Structure 1
Amino acid sequence: MTRTVFCKKYQQDLEGLDKPPYPGAKGQDIFENVSKKAWTEWQAHQTMLINEKQLSMMDPGARKFLQQEMEKFLAGEDFEQAEGYVPPSK
């Protein structure tokens, strides 16, 4: 049986994650309030940001930037896009 959550990004009940993606309170919050769909989309977007902006995960500033962008993305707010990015047409 799949677990459902009310996803804060999509504002609807969707399939939840299998386990918290981070340790601690932040991971628990994501586990309880973010759908598997939204988390998978964030992971793809995060990878694009890391690659296009050539971010180093050794740099605390880059990690902080990604954390802030993750919070915006998952809250359904405006978030950073890679330069020249055009979303695929549906």
Structure 2
Amino acid sequence: MFVRIVKMGFDPLKIDEFLSDFEVVKHKIRAFEGCEFLELYRDKHNTNIFFTYSYWNTEADLENYRHSDLFKGVWAKTKPLFNMKPEAWSVDKVVSLN
């Protein structure tokens, strides 16, 4: 399992646009081959900060998504809404408790 965490900061006036856009594409991203899980989080105190958290079967699956027309379209709409440089981490799950 390959885990990807992305931190994004948005212009406060653009948050509703981002959430609306995410609503349209979230099922497409989740249905992309190799994507097993997708969540969106919002910081409780800095409400213009969001995180996506996704599981991918392999790093190659994530890379296929990142080079897909779907990602290019999502990124083209999302990037202009940022008010800070996004950050991304690819991590290995070490422990998971249910």
> After TM superposition, is the score higher than 0.5?
no
Q: Which has the higher strand share?
A: 2
Q: TM-score, normalised by structure 2?
A: 0.30
Structure with more contact order per residue of length (Cα contacts < 8 Å, sep ≥ 6): 2
Q: Which has the higher helix share?
A: 1
